[in-house]
Structure 1
Amino acid sequence: MERVRDYLDTYWQSEITSEQLLRDALMDANEGILEDQKINLERRDMGTTAVLIAFREDGAWRAHVGDSRLYRLRNQQLERVTEDHTWVARALKMGDIDPAQAKVHPWRHVLFQCLGRQDLNFIEVEALDAQPGDTFMMCSDGLTEEVPDNLIEKILTGQGNCDDQAVQLIEEAKNAGGSDNITIVLVDFSEDNQDS
């Protein structure tokens, strides 16, 4: 994600729209991964996912590829904003499998879009509805595979600041047997934080 940050730092003040800026940043990251795969052949079949939000003069925006997720907590209710770019999520949406099958399906981690692919042709970028008081959570599937949404909501509406809540979520995932990467970023979009 360092490459994404560097790209955004370089072009943040430009006239590029936020939609195009986020799409270009992730496509640039994809190019970086492809370059790395040419040098390090043992990584040629590896890919990664990404989710990010940006607050610029033209509003709040989100970008996402893969199965890392964006959630919004508003009025004490947790809502999943993104849809996973996995075979199972697509099959579930089309009615080919049910939620119980999706939870244990052997292809639940098979991505149809991710960074690190020559054929990447779609980065999901959309305007993000952000209101004062919202909290946004970006996370890897290492969290969502182990901790159900209702427990995530309970922790995010409970005591503590964003740091405390992130630590608590990571501990819940580990205690549930989590062995995958567990990454969580919480963004408090409160009125107090809008000018910073």
Structure 2
Amino acid sequence: MTINPLEYSAASHPGLMRDNNEDCFLSQPEHGLWLVADGMGGHEAGEVASAIVRDTIERETHENPAISLLDTIQHAHATILKSAAQGIGAPGMGSTVVALKSNSESYQVAWVGDSRAYLWTPSREGGRLERLSTDHSYVQMLVETGVIRAEDAEFHPEKNIITQCLGMQELPQVRVDFVEHQWHKDQWILLCSDGLTDEVNDKTIAQILFESNNCLAAVDQLLHAALTGGGRDNITLQIIESPLRDNPLRKGLWQWVPYLTGKTLVDAWIFGAALASLVSILFYVMYF
């Protein structure tokens, strides 16, 4: 296992029902920083708000790499409020944000609103998809208070009502939630706006990630799935790979070992013995 620079892939699409894209994203591997922001407030307002989020977090991280991700998000909220008061954008504009700050061993994910972060941990049995973020939404509040079941949230008619966002005028400060974890080998983190998750459920996301050989292919397939599912909103997503990865050649060889017992070394011995037997039989047939 080696430690590598983080690899990533990103895409943003206006969708099939919108003529403008209020989403934006930031990818700065040199600062270990990635984010997705989903603006709201209509044409020439939502895109202004999300751009303010991106530019504020980018500028402050560049000027002070040690600054807290939570602080930069809080400052982005204040900047949207100040900009709207100065006539930039429009009153009431706002934006969600989900951001990743990473180093060679650990990472932090922080968010406000309903843009999401997922952790994908692969395995030969199929892998595991874990939602790292918790939506700041009315429906999530109903789930947490036991009014509705978690499995019913996806189909609730008010699932897109959020309880807070950056730029919300009623809030002098927003609550920035976050998680911190250690990286494990070959993990991926998916950051996305609700344009993806409204069209593609978690089960399908997991299946696409499992079937994708790299993050570029995964992003392409997820975007295609969201557009095929309806593409009713702007769609933005990024996948960032763990810096801890198996040697590419070793990883490539292991993928040819069939899943038999669930124990990689045992499966490799069985597969190797079967290949050796086949080669012996072919040699015997050809020369005797």
TM-score, normalising length from structure 2? 0.60
> What is the CA–CA distance in structure 2 between the aligned matches of 1:40 and 1:105, rounded to whole Å?
36
Identify if the C-alpha distance between structure 1 residues 153 and 107 changes in structure 2 by more than 3 Å, giving closer, same or farther.
same
Q: What does residue 237 of structure 2 align with? A: 184
Identify if the C-alpha distance between structure 1 residues 173 and 89 changes in structure 2 by more than 3 Å, giving closer, same or farther.
same
2:120 to 59, 67, 73: 73
8 A contact 1:22–1:125 mirrored in 2: no
1:62 to 109, 112, 135: 109
Q: Give every structure 1 segment of 4 or more consecutive aligned residues whose post-TM-superposition deviation is greater than 6 Å.
A: none
8 A contact 2:97–2:112 mirrored in 1: yes
1:190 is displaced (CA, Å) by 4.2
After superposition, the C-alpha distances for 1:6-40 in whole angstroms (9 at most, x for unaligned) are: 1111110x4x5xxxx11111011112211222234
Identify if the C-alpha distance between structure 1 residues 33 and 58 changes in structure 2 by more than 3 Å, giving closer, same or farther.
farther
Identify if the C-alpha distance between structure 1 residues 35 and 69 changes in structure 2 by more than 3 Å, giving closer, same or farther.
same
TM-score, normalising length from structure 1? 0.86
Identify if the C-alpha distance between structure 1 residues 187 and 109 changes in structure 2 by more than 3 Å, giving closer, same or farther.
same
The total of aligned residue pairs comes to 187
Matched, 1:97 2:158: no
- Structure number with greater Rg is 2
Higher relative contact order (CA 8 A, sep 6+): 2
Identify if the C-alpha distance between structure 1 residues 57 and 151 changes in structure 2 by more than 3 Å, giving closer, same or farther.
closer
Describe how 1:69-148 pairs up with structure 2 within 5 A: 69-75=116-122, 76-99=127-150, 101-118=152-169, 119=171, 120-148=173-201
> What is the CA–CA distance in structure 2 between the aligned matches of 1:82 and 1:164, rounded to whole Å?
24
1:153 is displaced (CA, Å) by 0.7
Q: Percent identity?
A: 30
1:64 is displaced (CA, Å) by 0.8
Gaps of 5+ in 2: 1-53, 247-288
> What is the CA–CA distance in structure 1 between the aligned matches of 2:102 and 2:152, rounded to whole Å?
37
Identify if the C-alpha distance between structure 1 residues 33 and 192 changes in structure 2 by more than 3 Å, giving closer, same or farther.
same
